[in-house]
Amino acid sequence: MVSACARGTKRRRRDAIASAALSARIGSHVALEARLNGTIIACFDHHSVDLGQFSTDAAERAQDLRNGLPLNSTTSGASNIDKEIQLILKRLASHGLLEYRLTNSQSARDELIIEPQTPDYWPHAAQLDNSDILVLSRFAYLRRRGNAMVLESPRAGAAFQICNPTIAAILTGLATPQQLKQLRRRDGFPGIELFALLVDCQILVKIDPKRSSLRLTEGDGDLVLWDFHDLLFHTRSTAGRHANPLGGLYPYAGVLAPLPAVRPHWPGKKINLTKSHTTYSELAAPTAKLLRERHSFRTFDDGQPITLAELAGFLASTARVQLRWESRLDLGDCSPVVEYTARPYPSGGGCYELELYLAVDKCEGLTRGFYHYDAGGHVLTPINVRSHEFEALLAGAALAMDAQAAPPILITITARFGRVSWKYSSLAYSLILKDVGALLQTFYLMATDMGLGGCAIGTTNIDLFAKMTGIEFHVEGPVGQFAMGGGAKQPPLESQ
Ligand SMILES: Cc1cc2nc3c(=O)[nH]c(=O)nc-3n(C[C@H](O)[C@H](O)[C@H](O)COP(=O)(O)O)c2cc1C
């Protein structure tokens, strides 16, 4: 028989063996240069970032970041050098230049490499208790990337390279909820730190055993409506919540030739349509003329600013609610009442989930600022946002258009995701993007008709919008952008 005291000793020994240490290191593409005046510069991919001025001792210790600097050795903050190192770490982290290693203290082998995905990620250990029940999030997934196995989730601020296959096996077992004390008994238990880091990133979730549905226990109620692939698509096809390359980077230019602009024709008999326009002349029809004249504007004429009256007319013609009604659904055992609207553009299932937020730089009669367009009331509501975030939003649009200046008005199209996913399984997010396309063309045509200029923008930063508005990225977030302003009399720029 093993006494309680002996059992306690055994558990302590096992935990001691399993304990792991967390260290920070700079990516292999980053070099730290210390200048004579004490300035430390981080150099990477033809860029450099000034990290500030530091003591010689701090600069020397910072060089340990090449191989890994134990985080617990810097967090005490007792000495000035610790504080300096903390500052260097935070600044490197905010530029995405740090990664973290969780190393087995006994074998010195890497258990995990943590790759931050958001600029504000910092490894934080969630508080865990032996009685906590843990389960893998239904948004977590494990995949091969190059030679590495990576554990990711659209909810997580970091991706985790799993270096030790035993950890992958233990995590696979967490498809079924398990108490932490059960996990501790597993051979190869890697230490509680790893689980605490994964809980912090919402890759593992603590669940309440009294609630029956796992789907309902995971995070807040708004996640219930998300399908796995939709949340992943949303977070990986926008900026803000991942660290992958994004945008027109031509990643396969040296690998494959571009596809032709027009599809090579099918073999067989052809019917020539050129001479078939007997009842309809595309040259005279007003819509055809509008479509022919439509093109993108990326620079706007400061001498001809858009006015509030023009903006009001534009919004009324493209997005204002025209009709509102209710209808009862008959689903057998439940019959909820659903509210509907009619608006000028089409929308999948009549959901009309899209909202418009206006970053106004220059508009005659309207104060510079950030506004929500209430399509029901046809009113603009000012929203207080931090000025550096407002400027970042406008600067991002200028960058996306390769323009010298911000557009006079930037419309951010957001989606209230749940309005669509409440009804549609599997295709909710794809429907939302199609709705964005329909609205963008509506904007283009109206702008052309009114003599205004506009340009669709393909990138949006979902994290920036969340910070500006305080709305969680999975509740309502950007899915498209449209830059607009006056001065459409000028000739079009070369298309991008
Ligand atoms: C979904 C979508 C995303 C776009 N994203 C950008 C963008 O980020 N930056 C940009 O300068 N133009 C963007 N455009 C505009 C296209 O480059 C433009 O429509 C295309 O080159 C054809 O030129 P045109 O609109 O003048 O006829 C986008 C257009 C669409 C429809």
Assess whether the C-beta atom of 483 lies below 6 angstroms from ligand 1: no
Q: Tell me what pLDDT residue 11 has.
A: 45
Residue 378 structure tokens = 């046809």
Q: What is the CATH number of the domain that holds 346?
A: 3.40.109.10
| E strand or H helix that includes residue 144 | strand 141-145
* Least trusted range by pLDDT, from 4-8, 95-99, 323-327: 4-8
In a domain, 428, yes or no: yes
**295 shares a domain with 204:** no
Q: Is the pLDDT of residue 177 over 60?
A: yes
**439 shares a domain with 292:** yes
Residue 221 structure tokens = 């109620």
Q: Which of 218, 245, 274 is the last residue of a domain?
A: 218
In a domain, 440, yes or no: yes
- The whole-angstrom separation of Cα 36 and Cα 57 is 13
Residue 361: which domain range? 282-485
Q: Tell me what pLDDT residue 12 has.
A: 44
Q: What does the pLDDT look like over 280-295, one tens digit per residue?
A: 666 678 999 999 999 9
Q: Which of 169, 187, 218 is the last residue of a domain?
A: 218
The count of structural domains within the chain is: 2
Read off the pLDDT of each residue in 245-257 and give the average, rounded to a whole number.
94
445 CA distance to ligand 1 centroid (A)? 14
Which atom of ligand 1 is nearest to 436's Cα? 1
In a domain, 19, yes or no: yes
**323 shares a domain with 198:** no
Residue 434's pLDDT band (boundaries 50, 70, 90)? very high
Assess whether the C-beta atom of 296 lies below 6 angstroms from ligand 1: yes
202 CA distance to ligand 1 centroid (A)? 36
**335 shares a domain with 205:** no
- The whole-angstrom separation of Cα 30 and Cα 351 is 47
Q: Tell me what pLDDT residue 15 has.
A: 44
**444 shares a domain with 366:** yes
Assess whether the C-beta atom of 237 lies below 6 angstroms from ligand 1: no
Assess whether the C-beta atom of 496 lies below 6 angstroms from ligand 1: yes
Position of tokens 């979730």?
A: 205
Backbone phi and psi for residue 195, each to the nearest 5 degrees, phi listed first = -70, -35
Sign of CA pseudo-dihedral 48, 51, 55, 60: negative
In a domain, 317, yes or no: yes
* Least trusted range by pLDDT, from 16-25, 186-195, 219-228, 290-299: 16-25
Q: Give the contacts of 453 (CB within 8 A, at least 6 positions apart).
A: 297, 300, 447, 484, 485, 486, 487, 488, 490
**398 shares a domain with 298:** yes
Smallest CA-to-CA distance from 318 within 482, 432, 487 is with 482
> Going by CA atoms, what residue is nearest to atom 29 of ligand 1?
456
Read off the pLDDT of each residue in 162-190 and give the average, rounded to a whole number.
94
Read off the pLDDT of each residue in 118-144 and give the average, rounded to a whole number.
95
Q: Is the pLDDT of residue 496 over 90?
A: no
In a domain, 418, yes or no: yes
> Going by CA atoms, what residue is nearest to atom 8 of ligand 1?
457
Q: Is the pLDDT of residue 495 over 70?
A: no
**332 shares a domain with 205:** no
- The whole-angstrom separation of Cα 93 and Cα 119 is 7
**301 shares a domain with 213:** no
**293 shares a domain with 203:** no
In a domain, 235, yes or no: no
- Pocket mutation for ligand 1, best pick of 455, 461, 484, 494 (most atoms within 8 Å of C-beta): 455
Assess whether the C-beta atom of 22 lies below 6 angstroms from ligand 1: no
- The whole-angstrom separation of Cα 202 and Cα 204 is 5
In a domain, 493, yes or no: no
**466 shares a domain with 374:** yes
Residues of the chain with pLDDT > 90, as a percent, come to: 79
**190 shares a domain with 294:** no
**204 shares a domain with 298:** no
Q: Which of 183, 218, 253 is the last residue of a domain?
A: 218
Residue 218's pLDDT band (boundaries 50, 70, 90)? confident
297 CA distance to ligand 1 centroid (A)? 9
In a domain, 62, yes or no: yes
Q: Tell me what pLDDT residue 14 has.
A: 43
Cβ atoms of residues 353 and 416 within 8 Å: yes
